[in-house]
Amino acid sequence: MGIEDIEKKILDEAREESSRIRAEGQRKLSGFQKETLARAEALRAQILEEGKLKAEEKKRSILIPARLEAKKAILNQKRKFIDQVFEEVLKEEIVKIDYSLDAFKRRIKEDLESQITEILFGEEIE
């Protein structure tokens, strides 16, 4: 085996080692890339989920008081309506009571007049 054969063998072995190292490097790089992409995807999903949760919380913090205010306004309107109805009914009942009281007074007056007439004149007026 001559020097040229030895050099060729050394170069062939160096090329093989270089190819093996390159292949190993590519494999590791590919693994790192996959791992990095997976981590990035997981981080992206986490950030999106946190953003979604924060948005939901913000939405609730706006909607809940707004809904309560709307319900409060509706209840106030209902209360006003009920108060108006009661006021009208009360006025009607007062008018009825006044009318009934007037009628009662008239009957008492008529009864008294009838009794006085009977006492004074001995006869009943109808």
Element (H, E) at 68: helix 3-121
Helix, strand, coil abundance in the chain, percent, nearest 5: 95, 0, 5
19-33, 43-57, 68-82, 92-106: which has the minimum mean pLDDT? 92-106
Task: Give the predicted TM-score (pTM) of the model.
Answer: 0.46
As a whole number of angstroms, the distance between CA 126 and CA 124 comes to: 6
pLDDT at 126 over 70: no
Read off the pLDDT band of 36 (50, 70, 90): very high
pLDDT greater than 90 at residue 74: yes
